[in-house]
Structure 1
């Protein structure tokens, strides 16, 4: 009987040891468990109430800016919320053009334009040469903006980079008297080349197109020493012609020079009988 009791006690002891080995117990707690044990929950003492939610403050009733800020705790996020809360999101209809960013505000909105665009709604493309209020002489499109330039004898104004001013005393194209030119234009008797007669020093940039069949059938404008601008219909009128420079009349006069035509460049978009793109550049040797 005694031996049976001893054997049973020994068996229980061994079972406990095996169980302890299979399920090992750690002596120390990890950091998270330790923190949860030693940390103490804050209690509501009645001195200050916990912050209310946005729904409680501004959705269930109309709130003030200060009340909204007490929820967001900073001015930046409050301003974004307040702009929409007061009068709705005015950017929802996408008023800004050309990929601009719309910033809603109280009573309005602002468009932040991409490079090369301007205007209230970023509707103006500054990279293209405008037809109205653009460069006074030459214009070249660019990536961020267009660029103005001037003909020989002219320079860009220091106060307005769109306008050209004389760089020499008598640059090509400058009129000595606008009033005399206007009076002559009103009383002009058109000749067969539809031009205005000039005094010797008034129109040195003018040229005259002439052929064996006509002493002068069209006028032109000197661009460079070997380039003359005229209309496409004038350049197509005769297969062979010459360009007279230093002329003021259709008859021969001292100082006249005749240039032979090397090649005629017609505007690629010119359509015969239509006024659009009616341009041609005559190239001399």
Structure 2
């Protein structure tokens, strides 16, 4: 199974946590962090969603442009398809799905996003969002006005490089999804989903073997291009083969290498 596919094709569900134009011209050192924003330096997701190697002044500059964090209730949206693009969003806590609607009203899931991931980059190209971003559970996001971020990119090379990496990551994710849908069997798609989830949890310091899914099997099937029943059948097969243990949405990987050989 492709390492690229296993790593980048799917952003998983959240796990259980362990036991104005003038402002755009403001120099980095001119503003103190807003009092209603938790300091990025104290955020557990900093290593994932922030560029590394920032000076204290540069970090303060980033904190000064972040709008107050916003709580999104389960089932609510941050933005909808065709909404004007204004900001990008960093997921501080919780999880989201991005979806597009077919003409007949059916929903197609295009991605899952968890703490440390960014949302909204789909609007950069056209100036309008191309999908809906829906909370899978009560979640919280940091709001970053894009015109202010662009101004900072001109001042701080590390921020510019980080934005480029995020955009590049979106390209890799979309191309990997095309490979998944076009070349992999249903069994391989579900295995890739689980392997990717395991890897992402490991990167965040959580257990790579035990996790709780926040999305439904129907949503997983929609993303993988297979039916709900097929997702359930593949999970049952993996359990029967001794690769994992499932109890509802609780997943325990028993044989990582065996799952990778599917």
The higher-RCO structure (CA 8 Å, 6+ apart) is 2
Say which structure is richer in helix: 2
Same fold (TM over 0.5): no
TM-score (normalised: structure 1):
0.22
